């Protein structure tokens, strides 16, 4: 669903089994970064905390997760079993979502953004 204006609308545009996976990812992100604001960016769920944090989206065979390039580099070893790009990783829908890894990536990105903001304020 590309015309969603809220994350609820985005998730509602998918079949129930995909909705469940999207809600798991959403809840994981929100728990890992409770101060993050939720919205839609680039047509997908987006989270911001002192700048862009992470994005995710559903595709026919995977969940795309976008922790920005720095998040990819930091977790390169743990992401090696997945298909990756410069700032993205594909988590196959036929496997359990790596929620612990998603949590670590979100927390890393939140700390990174918070540190950049603290440095700018000095």
User: Which tens digits make up the pLDDT trace of 51-109?
Assistant: 999 999 999 999 999 998 788 888 999 999 999 998 999 999 999 999 999 999 999 99
pLDDT above 60 for 40:
yes
Q: Examine residue 83 and state whether it is found in any structural domain, yes or no.
A: yes
CATH number at residue 28: 3.90.1150.200
Residue at token pair 């580099």: 73
Give helix then strand counts, H and E, for the chain.
5, 6
Q: How far apart are CA 73 and CA 87, in angstroms?
A: 9
Please count the structural domains in the chain: 1
User: Which tens digits make up the pLDDT trace of 99-122?
Assistant: 999 999 999 999 999 888 777 665
CA distances for 79 relative to 27, 64, 84, 108, 120, angstroms: 21, 13, 8, 15, 31
Query: Residue 39 is part of which domain span?
Result: 7-121
Q: Examine residue 1 and state whether it is found in any structural domain, yes or no.
A: no
Q: Examine residue 43 and state whether it is found in any structural domain, yes or no.
A: yes
């Amino acid at each position: 669903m590309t015309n969603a204006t809220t994350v609820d609308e985005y998730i509602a545009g998918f079949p129930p089994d995909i909705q469940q996976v999207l809600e798991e990812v959403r809840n994981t992100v929100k728990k890992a970064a409770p101060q993050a604001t939720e919205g839609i960016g680039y047509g997908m769920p987006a989270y911001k905390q002192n700048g862009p944090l992470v994005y995710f989206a559903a595709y026919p065979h995977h969940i795309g997760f976008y922790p920005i390039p720095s998040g990819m580099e930091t977790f390169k070893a743990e992401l090696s079993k997945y298909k990756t790009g410069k700032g993205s990783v594909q988590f196959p829908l036929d496997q359990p979502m790596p929620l612990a890894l998603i949590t670590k990536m979100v927390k890393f990105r939140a700390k990174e953004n918070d540190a950049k903001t603290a440095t700018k304020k000095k």
